[in-house]
Amino acid sequence: MTRDWRTIFRFALLGLAIASVSFGISEADPTPGSSVAIWIGVATIILCLGSFLFVTNFDIEPQTTGFAIMWLIIGLINFAVYAVIGAAYVGLQKKRDGSVTN
């Protein structure tokens, strides 16, 4: 695996880790309306772009199979989005270094 692919894979794993942490915190079921729950919700919306697909799904309860499947989908979307971000980062690094071939 080349250095570039390793960097892209690390970005993708970061996205999956962020989704996993958000899932774990959501499973802990923080008190609704508390400042901690609000901050975690805002951070999840910003860092887990896949969660935008499920913003209106209020009927999915924590600690159910549907909730776990929802977070699995969010994690996979996050994995892909962060891989694209990693690829853009690698591309910009190459462009800056002047090693892009045309």
C-alpha neighbours within 13 Å on the C-beta side of residue 96 = 6
Nearest to 60 by CA among 48, 76, 71: 71
Confidence of residue 14 (pLDDT cuts 50, 70, 90): very high
Confidence of residue 23 (pLDDT cuts 50, 70, 90): very high
Average pLDDT over all residues of the chain: 88
The predicted-structure confidence for 87-102, as pLDDT tens digits, reads as follows: 999 999 888 877 655 4
As a whole number of angstroms, the longest Cα–Cα distance in the chain is 55
